[in-house]
Chain A
Amino acid sequence: MGEKITSPFARHHLFRNPFGELTGRERAELAVVEVEEYLDWLDLKPSEEVRPAKLALQFIGPCGHGKSTHLLALQWAIARSGAEAEMPALVYFPEEGDQPALPSSRPLLIDEAQRMGWWRRQQLLGGTGPVIIGTHNDMSGALASAGFRVRTVDLSRSLTAERLCEMLNRRIDASRMGNAHPASSLCLTLEQVVVLQERFGSNIRTIEDHLYLHFQRFVLRGEPWLPVA
C-alpha cells in the first residue's frame, strides 16, 4: 500500500503534541508572565529608607504551579531587555547534595530558595538586590528584616482560568507547522479550561500531563478532542 508519510500531528497542522516537554527557552518564551510589570518594579527607585536596589521579588507556591517558569521567563526577559550585559544567573538549589554558590552578580534568580542552608541564606540576606526567588515557603519576613523591599506573588492563587487558557493555547500555537500552513483548528475554550481547573486546581504540570495523554489518544486513536474529565 503506497501511503504518503505524514506525522500523526500533521493533519491538525501541528508538528508535535503541544503539551509535551519544552526546552527552557521555549518555556520562557511561552510563559504568560507579566515580565514588563515585574521588570518595572525591579527598576523602581528605592525610597530613602531603603538601600539602593535592595529589592526582592518572590514567587511562592507548591510544585507544578509555575515558579520555575516565572524565573525562566524573567531571566530571558532581563537578557533581552539589554539592561544587563549577559544572561543573569539563575541558581537552582537541589533537594540533596552540595549547595551551589551564590554569585555576586545582580540581578540574581534563585529557584527552590527554601532549600538554602543557613550560610547561603545569610549570604543572600547580607547581600544586595535585586533578587528574584522561587520558593515553597514565604521568605518575606527574613528579607524585610534584612532591609529588602519585598513583593510577593502567590502563584497558587493567581492562576485564573483566562490566564491558563491563554497559556495552553500559546502551547498549541507554538506547535503549528509554520506560516505556510493554516492555523490549527485545535484550541481550548474557556469552558474546557474551567473544567480542568475544577479537577486539577492550579497545578499546571498535572494539567499539561493530562492534556498530553488526551492529545495522544486524539491523534492515535481518533478519540474526540475534549480534554475534560
Chain B
Amino acid sequence: MAACRITIQLNDSAPLSGGAPVSGVVIVNADKDVACKGLVVRTIWSTHGRGNVDTGEVASQQLFEGNWQSGQEARYPFTLPTAAWPPTYYGNYLNVSHYVSAQAKLSWAIDPKAQVEYVVVAHDAPDDLKPTVAPAKQSGFLAATVLGLIAVAFMVAFIPLLLLLVVVIGPIAGLVYFFKVILPKRITGPVSCDLAAPKVRAGENVRAKLEFTPARNSTINGIEWKIRCIEECVSGSGSNRRTHTSELFQDTVSSCGTRQLRPGEKQSIEFDYKLPTTAAPSLKFGSNLLKWTITARIDIPSWPDWTKNLEPIVLANATNSLPPRLADDEALGARPSSSSSSSSGSGSFGPGPFAGTVPSNKEKTVGDEAWLSQVVAQIREVQFESDALATVLEAVKDFSFPIAVTLENEIDTPDFFDEEHFQHWDDAEWWTGYSPNLNMDIGLAWEDGYPPEVESGRTWRGQASIVGYSAEQKQLLMCVQTA
C-alpha cells in the first residue's frame, strides 16, 4: 500500500488568461504514519505528442513539511500564478497543456504525486513566441556560455578545415542562390513581398503585398500564394533524431494568370485571405513548433520561379475564449488545393457546421444498434461529400435507434447550414454528450423539454432519430423520441 495519496481540486475550471492565478486545494490521505520532507505544488506547462517534451515551471510553493498520521486527511489550499503563454492546444502531433502538479517527498517511501490540467487561453502572443515563463536554470546559461567558448576554440583550431568547407560548400550554396534569387530577378527586377501585419487573428484576414518593376519585356504564367499550417515535432537526439510533420491546413490561391510584363511598369499584387475561425495558434518551442507560412510564387515560364516565404504569427480567435480544437490532418490537410481567380481564396472547411434534416410526420421505424453502427460508418465515409451526406441523413430521418449517451452540457441550438433546419430545431432543448458505443460526440435534442433526470455526467438511454451531422466537429445530432 502506498504511504499516502494525493489529489488536487481546483476551485474553478474556467479557462484562464493573461497569467491569472489558479487556486485550489491539495488533499493528502495518509495510509500510514509518514514523515513528509516537503509537499510542493507547482504550475507548469508542457508539450506532449510526437516531439521531445518541452516544459517549463511557472511557479511553486511548499505547502507542508512534517508528519502525517495513518488515516489522516489533510487539506492545503494554494494560489499560484499561471503562464500567459503558451495557450492550451490540442493538435495532431503537438499538444500543449498546463497543469497544477503536487508531489510529496517522503522518507523511505515512493514520493506520491498528482496533477490536474487547467486551460489557458491567450489573446496575444509574444513576438518571438517564446513561453513567457521559461525554465531559467543557471546551469543552462552556464552551459551555453561554455559551449560558446568551446565553439570559438574549435573554430580557431580548425581554420584550415573551415577553409576547405567554405571552398566546397560555398560554391554549392552560391549555385542555389544564383538559381533561386539572381536568375528570377533578371525577369522581375527586385521584388518586395511583405505582410501587412506580422500578427493576425484566427477568423480575420491575413494580407500581403507583392510589388516589382520588371526590367525587361517578359511574360509570367501567373502569381500564386500558398498558405500552409504545419506542426513540426522533433523526437530523439543524435542519430535517432527524427522530425515529424503534420500538415493541418493548406490552400493555394491564384492572384493572376498569364501576364505580359513591360519594363518600368510597376506590378502590385495583393493577397487577402480569411483565416478559418479555428485556425491553430502559432507556437514555438525547443523541439516543437506550429507554423503558418505563406509562399508567394511568380511563375516564370522556362525560368526558375521567384518565391518567398512569409511567416505570419496567428493568434487565437479573440471572440472565442475556447482553445481551438483542430480536426485531424486528413480533414484539413488532405483536401485538394483550390485555385481561384479570387484574391480572397477559398479555403473554407466545406459544407458548413451541420448538415441537417427535418423529420416527416410519419411514425418512426425502429432500428437496432447494429444498424445504427452501419449508418454512422456510412456517415463517416461520406462526411466530406455534402450531397452524399445529405442523402444519408434524408434516408434515415424516419428511423429511430436505441442509444446511450453520457451527457455533458446543455447548449444552444447547433448552427445548421440550412436556415430552415435551424428554425425547425431552434425550439428544442439541446445537450452535448458522448456515445461510447459509437465513439462519437452526440448532440441530443428534446423537442418538448428535457426531463429532470437529464443532467451533466449521467447516462441517458432511449430512442432517438438522426437529424444532422458536422464533419468539422465530428458530432452527430439526434432527436429524442418520446413514447
Interface residues of A, Cβ cutoff 8 Å to B: 1-5, 7-8, 11, 15-17, 20-23, 63, 68, 92, 94-95, 112, 177-180, 212, 216-218, 220-225
A–B pairs, 8, beta carbons within 8 Å? A4-B409, A11-B434, A16-B48, A92-B238, A221-B328, A221-B331, A221-B380, A223-B439
Not counting A17-B48, A94-B239, A178-B8, a sample of 8 additional A-B residue pairs whose C-beta atoms are within 8 angstroms of each other reads A3-B432, A5-B15, A7-B90, A63-B240, A178-B116, A216-B328, A222-B438, A223-B439
Interface size on B, residues (CB 8 A): 48
Residue among B90, B233, B432, B434 with max Cβ neighbours from chain A (10 Å)? B90
Residues in B neighbouring A222, C-beta threshold 8 A = 380, 438-440, 474
Closest A residue to B235 by beta carbon equals A21
Residues in A neighbouring B409, C-beta threshold 8 A = 2-4
Contact A5-B235, Cβ < 8 Å, known A16-B95, A179-B7, A222-B440:
no
Closest A residue to B327 by beta carbon equals A220
Contact A3-B411, Cβ < 8 Å, known A21-B49, A95-B239:
yes
The reply to whether B50 and A20 contact each other, CB–CB distance below 8 Å, is: yes
Residues in B neighbouring A5, C-beta threshold 8 A = 15, 88, 119, 322-323
A66 to B117, CA, bound (A): 31
Contact A1-B434, Cβ < 8 Å, known A179-B114, A222-B380:
no
A95 to B71, CA, bound (A): 55
Closest A residue to B443 by beta carbon equals A1
Q: Is B265 at the interface (CB under 8 A from chain A)?
A: no
Closest B residue to A218 by beta carbon equals B439
Contact A4-B408, Cβ < 8 Å, known A112-B239, A222-B474:
yes
- Nearest first, the 3 A-B pairs at minimum CB distance are A220-B328, A95-B239, A16-B48
Residues in A neighbouring B330, C-beta threshold 8 A = 221
Q: Is B344 at the interface (CB under 8 A from chain A)?
A: no
Residues in A neighbouring B432, C-beta threshold 8 A = 3-4
Residues in B neighbouring A22, C-beta threshold 8 A = 53
A217 to B412, CA, bound (A): 28
Residue among B95, B380, B411 with max Cβ neighbours from chain A (10 Å)? B95
A92 to B240, CA, bound (A): 12
Contact A212-B50, Cβ < 8 Å, known A11-B434, A178-B114:
yes
B30 to chain A, nearest CB (A): 14
A222 to B328, CA, bound (A): 11
Partner of B439, one of A177, A180, A224: A224
A212 to B327, CA, bound (A): 16
Closest A residue to B27 by beta carbon equals A180
Residues in A neighbouring B408, C-beta threshold 8 A = 4
The reply to whether A1 and B7 contact each other, CB–CB distance below 8 Å, is: no
Partner of B238, one of A1, A95, A216, A223: A95
A163 to chain B, nearest CB (A): 22
Interface string of B15-44 (1 = CB under 8 A from A): 100000000000000000000000000000
Residues in B neighbouring A217, C-beta threshold 8 A = 328
The reply to whether B322 and A15 contact each other, CB–CB distance below 8 Å, is: no
Cβ-Cβ contact count across A and B, 8 Å cutoff:
98
A216 to B48, CA, bound (A): 13
The reply to whether B380 and A23 contact each other, CB–CB distance below 8 Å, is: no
Residues in B neighbouring A7, C-beta threshold 8 A = 90, 95, 97, 117
Residues in A neighbouring B97, C-beta threshold 8 A = 7, 15-16
The reply to whether B53 and A21 contact each other, CB–CB distance below 8 Å, is: yes
Name the interface residues of B432-475: CB closer than 8 Å to any CB of A: 432, 434, 438-440, 474
Closest B residue to A16 by beta carbon equals B48
Residue among B239, B330, B434 with max Cβ neighbours from chain A (10 Å)? B239
Closest A residue to B117 by beta carbon equals A15
The reply to whether B322 and A221 contact each other, CB–CB distance below 8 Å, is: no
Residues in A neighbouring B412, C-beta threshold 8 A = 1-2
Closest B residue to A23 by beta carbon equals B53
Residues in B neighbouring A1, C-beta threshold 8 A = 411-412, 414-415
Residues in B neighbouring A225, C-beta threshold 8 A = 439
Residues in B neighbouring A177, C-beta threshold 8 A = 116-117
A6 to B395, CA, bound (A): 33
A45 to B34, CA, bound (A): 36
A94 to B8, CA, bound (A): 42
Q: Is B325 at the interface (CB under 8 A from chain A)?
A: yes
Residues in A neighbouring B434, C-beta threshold 8 A = 11
Name the interface residues of B419-442: CB closer than 8 Å to any CB of A: 432, 434, 438-440
Closest B residue to A185 by beta carbon equals B436
B438 to chain A, nearest CB (A): 7
The reply to whether A178 and B7 contact each other, CB–CB distance below 8 Å, is: yes
The reply to whether B411 and A8 contact each other, CB–CB distance below 8 Å, is: no
Partner of B325, one of A8, A11, A17, A216: A8
A132 to B366, CA, bound (A): 66
Interface string of B40-61 (1 = CB under 8 A from A): 0000000011111100000000
Closest B residue to A98 by beta carbon equals B154
A179 to B116, CA, bound (A): 10
A137 to B410, CA, bound (A): 62
The reply to whether B90 and A8 contact each other, CB–CB distance below 8 Å, is: yes
A215 to B233, CA, bound (A): 17
A11 to B405, CA, bound (A): 12
The reply to whether A180 and B7 contact each other, CB–CB distance below 8 Å, is: yes
Name the interface residues of B280-332: CB closer than 8 Å to any CB of A: 322-323, 325, 327-328, 330-331
A16 to B6, CA, bound (A): 20
Residues in A neighbouring B115, C-beta threshold 8 A = 15, 178
Q: Is B226 at the interface (CB under 8 A from chain A)?
A: no
A17 to B90, CA, bound (A): 11
Closest A residue to B51 by beta carbon equals A21
Name the interface residues of B197-228: CB closer than 8 Å to any CB of A: none
Residues in B neighbouring A8, C-beta threshold 8 A = 90, 325
Residues in A neighbouring B119, C-beta threshold 8 A = 5
